[in-house]
Amino acid sequence: MKDNHAAKPSTGLIVFALAMGGFAIATSEFASMSILPLLSNGFGIDAPTAAHAISAYALGVVVGAPLLAVLGARCERRLLLILLMVLFALGNTLSALAPSYRWLLVFRFLSGLPHGTFYGMASLVVTSLVPENRRSVALGRMFLGLTLATVVGVPLSDWLGHLVGWRWSFGLPALLAVLTMTCIRLWAPRVPAAEGASPLRELGALRRPQVWLTLGIGAIGFGGLFSVYTYLADVLRSVTHVSVTVTMLVLGVLGLGMTVGNIIVPAFADRALMRTTGLVLLWSVASLIAFPFAAHNVWTITLDVFLIGVGGALATVLQTRLMDVAEDAQGLAAALNHSAFNVANALGPFLGGLAVARGLGWTSPGWVGALLAAGGFVIWAWSSVLQRKTDANRPVVIRERAHVGFH
């Protein structure tokens, strides 16, 4: 009992250290969206072209998450987390120093490489500290680092970008990464890799259909939020006609919605995980459909942006779902969750930018986002049907085995 009581303070510090890493990563990821107009002006390119920097980061996550998770399968987890933060700090420092737009794309790709594996390893560490029926709540607390970044880190980065130049919007996450390394080194315990862990065992997650379906829900369904968020600053300035200060406040409101979502939704997910996932997707569809109608008034768009942000809790509930379906290959599956969301991060801005470039207007990403969220719901329904069939067959197998044993 003494050991358990003594461990409680360190558990809180561990969660704080890992949440700080999430804060740094999310500040870098989302700030590149909020400063899109600054990148456009700085390099003399249009907004859809500037959005390729977002896609380059997302591609780095998609490539880096499986690659680094597999390569680091046997690595002690605290050391791996620190090394991932070193790579993240390097990528953002180089992004801040990029001499041209092409080099910026390369450095944003590099910055994205450690993203998914850091979140994946951090998720495994956090969920190992709590009972099984509290995993989503624990993940929600860790992901508060991500959501609070959209409330505090991104507006601060956006403010720095307008005050002293867009380069500081990438310099700030690099400094936060150094702070994260220090916190992890001071507070996180040495955690060996799982017994029997190997690259081949981790790759076994890819043989499970439910893993792919869960990743598909995130890759498609979460694209709606990114589609709107990427062009939100342009919508606020060109359609709602508000000042830069109000724009930063509304961007913060989206983060506030994500924070509230990650506080409330995980408690329901721990009771009914798949049902909660479906309801979150429907919530996203409705709030994204409302976006084009709400965009012309500052109060209605602010409310709708908050509601869209609440749907960001999808990341947390799908993280738990992947741990359930990945069985003994949780490292790769947990990391791939963020690959899926960064497929969404690439797909949403691309399709939203395509709609804008085709002359459908700045609010058209709302319609694109609603279609993406609806697509995620279709995949969720497919996954649910397969899960019910699997669950229905299990009692039959048990009864047959019991019958044979009796005779």
Q: Please give the pLDDT value at position 15.
A: 87
CA–CA distance, 88 with 90 (Å, rounded to integer): 5
pLDDT in tens, 272-322: 889 999 999 999 999 999 999 999 999 999 999 999 999 999 988 998 888
More confident position, 99 or 2: 99
pLDDT greater at residue 225 or residue 326: 225
3 state SS for 263-316 = HHHHHHHCCCHHHHHHHHHHHHHHHHHHHHHHCCCHHHHHHHHHHHHHHHHHHH
Q: Are 182 and 85 contacting, i.e. CB atoms less than 8 angstroms apart?
A: no
Give me the percent of the chain exceeding a pLDDT of 70: 91
| CATH architecture, domain 2-406 | Up-down Bundle (1.20)
Among 88-92, 152-156, 171-175, name the one with the lowest average pLDDT. 152-156
Nearest of 390, 395, 349, 393 to residue 372 by alpha carbon: 349
Distance CA 69, CA 29 (A): 20
By the 10 Å C-beta count (0-12 exposed, 13-18 middle, 19+ buried), 383 is classed as buried
CA gap 353, 64 in Å, rounded:
25
Higher pLDDT, 174 or 136: 174
Residue 330: is its pLDDT beyond 80?
A: no
Rg of the Cα trace of the chain? 21
**43-68: average pLDDT:** 86
Query: What pLDDT is stored for residue 403 in this prediction?
Result: 38
Mean pLDDT of 330-351: 83
Question: Is there a contact between 234 and 36 (Cβ–Cβ < 8 Å)?
Answer: yes
Would you say the C-alpha torsion 27, 29, 34, 36 has a positive or negative sign?
positive
| pLDDT of amino acid 159 | 85
The tokens for 11 are 């558990």
State how far the Cα of 230 lies from the Cα of 40, in Å rounded to an integer: 13
User: Is a pLDDT exceeding 90 seen at residue 13?
Assistant: no
pLDDT score, position 153: 86
Which pLDDT score is estimated for 172? 93
- Average pLDDT of 7-18? 74
**pLDDT at residue 397 in the model:** 43
The answer to whether residue 395 scores a pLDDT higher than 70 is no
Structure tokens at 350: 């691309």
What are phi and psi for residue 186, nearest 5 degrees? -80, -40
Position 196 scores a pLDDT of: 61
Structure tokens at 146: 């991500």
**Pick from 19, 272, 336, 270: which is nearest to 135 by CA?**
270
- Higher model confidence: residue 4 or residue 137? 137
pLDDT at 197: 60
Closest CA to 311 of 214, 230, 229, 385: 229
Residue carrying structure tokens 């690595």:
75
Judging by beta carbons within 10 Å of its beta carbon (0-12, 13-18, 19+), is residue 84 exposed, middle or buried?
A: buried
Work out the average pLDDT over 363-384: 95
- The tokens of 340 are what? 């899926």
Q: Is the pLDDT of residue 217 over 50?
A: yes
**Nearest to 371, CA basis, from 306, 277, 291:** 291
Report how far Cα 201 is from the mean position of its chain's Cα atoms.
25
User: Kindly report the CA angle at 256 between 349 and 30, in degrees rounded to 5?
Assistant: 30
The reported pLDDT for the residue numbered 17 is 93
Residues constituting the chain: 407
How far apart are alpha carbons 16 and 10 in whole angstroms? 10
Tell me: pLDDT of 23 over 90.
yes
Residue 8, pLDDT score: 44
178, 179, 180, 183 alpha-carbon torsion, rounded to 10°: 130
Burial letters 157-172, b for 16+ CB under 10 A, else e: bbbbbbeeebbbbbbb
Average the pLDDT over each of 32-36, 75-79, 222-226, 360-364 and give the range with the smallest value: 32-36
